[in-house]
């Protein structure tokens, strides 16, 4: 084994430890009592307890916020994927002047930080009755997800040779038939990868949920941040809630990891 390979393994091991340790630390503190979590030096050997998990479910209504996050994430991801699929198909297959410029303009919308549009959305939602509603939050998340999803799907569809479309048209297939019966099955890995990344982005949102909801449709990240107040820091409960909040996305990634790996390498950045 040469020195270069040894150094590569060392770097990979260090990088893995740096990545995994914060997650281990979060899970460890979530299983400690509140008193033990404040101890210094920290305790690496302790008797696990589930009192923090019981507290966030019984006193903090964690199940309600969790369900809100699931509803908003599914709604925003589904809406964004549906709209972006048609938009990407139009850009990829129809003869539109300035296609690349339009695609780049759509992607550039993702460069704007969400805080820029919070005030206009808040004003609009207050007038339209969308404040603190599932629909309002789903639409807000979609404004953040659509540019990214259109760009990704545009790249995936461009990877499919247009000769396939032409052959299908000769057989009498319509544009929608080509999209749903040919292009979607061919690019399903890329579509799945895009959907997963959109779901993760929506799930982790804080700024929209904090600004455009009050109580009814508030998602998980907002009440989790409330565990760290100005005077009382509920560290153990905070870490317990954080541990549970990452589980759905971790499970999603594990279930769909083959699609994610294939989708990322499918050629999404080729335009």
CATH label of the domain that carries residue 257: 1.10.3720.10
Give me the number of domains the chain comprises.
Answer: 1
* Those residues with Cβ within 8 angstroms of residue 173's Cβ, 6 or more apart along the chain or in another chain: 181, 182
Q: How many angstroms separate the CA atoms of 139 and 11, rounded? A: 42
The answer to whether position 104 is within a domain reads: yes
The answer to whether position 42 is within a domain reads: no
Q: How many CB atoms lie within 10 A of CB 43?
A: 13
The answer to whether position 260 is within a domain reads: yes
Say which residue, 77 or 247, is predicted with more confidence: 77
The answer to whether position 157 is within a domain reads: yes
* Cross-strand partners of 233: 228
Report whether the peptide linkage leading into residue 55 is cis, meaning its omega lies within 30 degrees of zero: no
Helices (H), the chain: 3-30, 34-37, 51-58, 62-93, 99-108, 118-128, 134-158, 162-170, 175-178, 184-186, 188-203, 207-212, 221-225, 235-255, 257-264
pLDDT at 271: 40
Residue range 93-145, pLDDT digits in tens: 887 777 777 777 777 777 778 888 888 889 999 999 899 899 999 999 998 89
Residue 221 is part of which domain span? 56-264
Q: How many angstroms separate the CA atoms of 55 and 57, rounded? A: 5
The answer to whether position 240 is within a domain reads: yes
The answer to whether position 181 is within a domain reads: yes
For 160, left (φ over 0), alpha (ψ -120 to 50), or beta?
A: beta
Cβ atoms of 118 and 153 within 8 Å: the answer is no
How would residue 217 be classed by pLDDT, with cut points 50, 70 and 90? confident
Quick one: tokens of 195? 């959907």
Residue range 70-83, pLDDT digits in tens: 999 999 999 999 99
The answer to whether position 224 is within a domain reads: yes
How would residue 233 be classed by pLDDT, with cut points 50, 70 and 90? low
The answer to whether position 153 is within a domain reads: yes
252 SS3 class: helix
Cβ atoms of 212 and 136 within 8 Å: the answer is yes
């Amino acid at each position: 084994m040469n020195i270069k390979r040894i150094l590569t393994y060392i770097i990979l091991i260090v990088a893995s430890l740096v990545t995994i340790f914060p997650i281990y630390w979060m899970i460890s503190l979530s299983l400690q009592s509140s008193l033990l979590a404040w101890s210094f030096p920290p305790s690496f050997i302790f008797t696990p307890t589930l009192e923090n998990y019981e507290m966030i479910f019984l006193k903090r209504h964690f199940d309600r916020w969790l369900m809100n996050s699931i509803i908003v994430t599914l709604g925003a991801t589904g809406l964004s994927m549906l709209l972006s699929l048609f938009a990407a198909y139009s850009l990829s297959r129809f003869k539109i002047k300035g296609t690349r410029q339009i695609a780049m303009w759509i992607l550039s919308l993702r460069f704007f930080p969400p805080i820029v549009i919070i005030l206009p959305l808040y004003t609009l939602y207050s007038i339209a009755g969308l404040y603190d509603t599932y629909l309002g939050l789903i639409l807000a998340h979609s404004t953040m997800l659509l540019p990214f999803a259109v760009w990704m799907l545009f790249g995936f569809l461009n990877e499919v040779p247009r000769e396939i479309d032409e052959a299908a048209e000769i057989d009498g297939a319509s544009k929608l038939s080509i999209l749903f019966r040919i292009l979607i099955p061919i690019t399903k890995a890329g579509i799945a990868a895009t959907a997963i990344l959109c779901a993760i982005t929506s799930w982790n949102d804080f700024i929209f949920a904090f600004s455009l909801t009050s109580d009814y449709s508030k998602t998980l990240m907002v009440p989790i941040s409330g565990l760290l107040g100005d005077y009382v820091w509920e560290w153990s409960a905070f870490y317990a809630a954080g541990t549970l909040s990452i589980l759905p996305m971790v499970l999603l990634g594990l279930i769909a990891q083959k699609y994610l790996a294939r989708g990322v390498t499918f050629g999404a950045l080729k335009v």
